[in-house]
Structure 1
Amino acid sequence: MDYAVVLLGLAVVHLLAVASPGPSTVLVIQTAAIVGRRGGLLAAFAMMVGALAWAAAALYGLQALFAQFEWLYVAFRIGGALFLIYLAVMIWRHAKDPLPEIAVDRTAHMTGWQGFMRALLLQLSNPKIMVFFGSIFLSVLPQNTPGWMDGAVLAIVAVNEFCWFALLALLFSGGPARAFYRRAKVWIDRVMGGVLAALGLRLILADR
């Protein structure tokens, strides 16, 4: 079996999924525009860490646990949905706040790590990421693969996640994007908040 072809197919499918707009995209863009390049890259790193946790869980059996105990999946899903709605409310409430200037000081450092934690919690609060990983792993990866394949799969997930979100962070932390965000902050934040709230409600109402 040509494992290189299998891994390439997995990389393409995963990258397309990562690039599709969702709450992670919204959060990284907003963090980069407000906190700056460093904060955006920390958020991108958090997205990578969270995705790796779910990918490892899918590889090593958490999906089977969710299938065995449906209430556990429901608890994860409701918790993730509530966190999305909480973020939406916070973004909406602070939509009219002026955009802070980037400064290299202790406050900016703390803000960057707060962005990291917020992004990590968002990524970890969505069990559908693990279900997605479980689905593509089952459909793309053959049975009885050698042990090194697990490491290769996790490496692909890490590279795709960080590179995509780092690209978003670099784009939206730049001067032109930041200036545009400053001018349109109220409406952009309200749209972002609305998107996150809608995604949270959809997660609550989803059958599975």
Structure 2
Amino acid sequence: MSSAAILTSIFAALMVGAMSPGPSFVVVSRIAISRSRLDGLAAALGMGVGGVMFGILALAGLTALLTQFAWLYLVLKFAGGAYLVYIAFRIWQGAKAPLEVSGAVEGRASLGRSFSMALLTQLSNPKTIIVYASIFAAFLPKTVPAGVMIGLPIGIFAIEAGWYSIVALAFSARRPRQVYLAAKHWIDRAAGLVMGGLGLRLIFSGAMLR
């Protein structure tokens, strides 16, 4: 199989995974709709960087380490679940707080917070690296061509950042923002419940492995 065919197969599988609803979607859409379009795009970049980090770790063989040391995988699952529950609590807590959206960017600090929150959300689920490793194992040959090694991080970033940029642009439009402002209390509570449920699911799935 040629390098182009290998990369096409891997990227198609990763695209399906990126478009599946989850905590990353909740975080990026909420940042875009409640802050600004640039904040949403900064969050999309955070998702892209997180995806590249997971891809590099999967290629480096961290999956084998997690398999060998089950306790390390459990620690990562509990830590990631706890982070998602924390984010859920913050969203729920701020549901009643009024929000004035001007569409202006608050500055580098705001963009940095959006980027960091998205990056940490992306990295909070260690299952992602298992998914990456599984896809790589299915499509990568025993000896990985140099072109594939170079193309993988670039493609992963393009897929993750590209998809969430689309999400950010869609949810930062005027109509979605008006809907959010009109029903902020209920939307934030729903987002908090979804995020909290995903975090608890991650924690309980780790507990089941003990």
TM-score normalised to the size of structure 1? 0.95
Q: Deviations over 1:140-180 (max 9, x none)?
A: 22211212211111111111001100000011111111111
Q: Is 2:69 the counterpart of 1:69?
A: yes
Following superposition, the deviation at residue 76 of structure 1 comes to 0.7
Give structure 2 stretches of 5+ with no counterpart.
none
Q: Deviations over 1:118-139 (max 9, x none)?
A: 1111112211111110111101
Contact 2:35/2:103 (CA < 8 Å) preserved in 1? no
Corresponding letter in the other structure for 2:196: A
Contact 1:28/1:165 (CA < 8 Å) preserved in 2? yes
Residues in 2 aligned to 1:80 and 1:157: alpha-carbon distance in whole angstroms: 21
Residues in 1 aligned to 2:150 and 2:2: alpha-carbon distance in whole angstroms: 17
Q: Among the aligned pairs, what percent are the same residue?
A: 38
Q: Is 2:66 the counterpart of 1:95?
A: no
Residues in 2 aligned to 1:104 and 1:187: alpha-carbon distance in whole angstroms: 24
- Indicate the RMSD between aligned Cα atoms, in angstroms: 1.4
Residues in 2 aligned to 1:118 and 1:100: alpha-carbon distance in whole angstroms: 21
Residues in 2 aligned to 1:174 and 1:140: alpha-carbon distance in whole angstroms: 38
2:57 alignment partner in structure 1: 57
Residues in 1 aligned to 2:104 and 2:182: alpha-carbon distance in whole angstroms: 23
Contact 2:15/2:159 (CA < 8 Å) preserved in 1? yes
1:27 alignment partner in structure 2: 27
Deviates more, 1:138-147 or 1:31-40: 138-147
Give structure 1 stretches of 5+ with no counterpart.
none
For 1:132-147, list aligned pairs within 5 A.
Answer: 132-147=131-146
Over 3 Å counting, the alpha-carbon distance change for 1:18 and 1:103 in structure 2 is closer
Residues in 1 aligned to 2:103 and 2:6: alpha-carbon distance in whole angstroms: 46
Following superposition, the deviation at residue 104 of structure 1 comes to 4.2
Corresponding letter in the other structure for 1:197: G
Following superposition, the deviation at residue 82 of structure 1 comes to 0.1
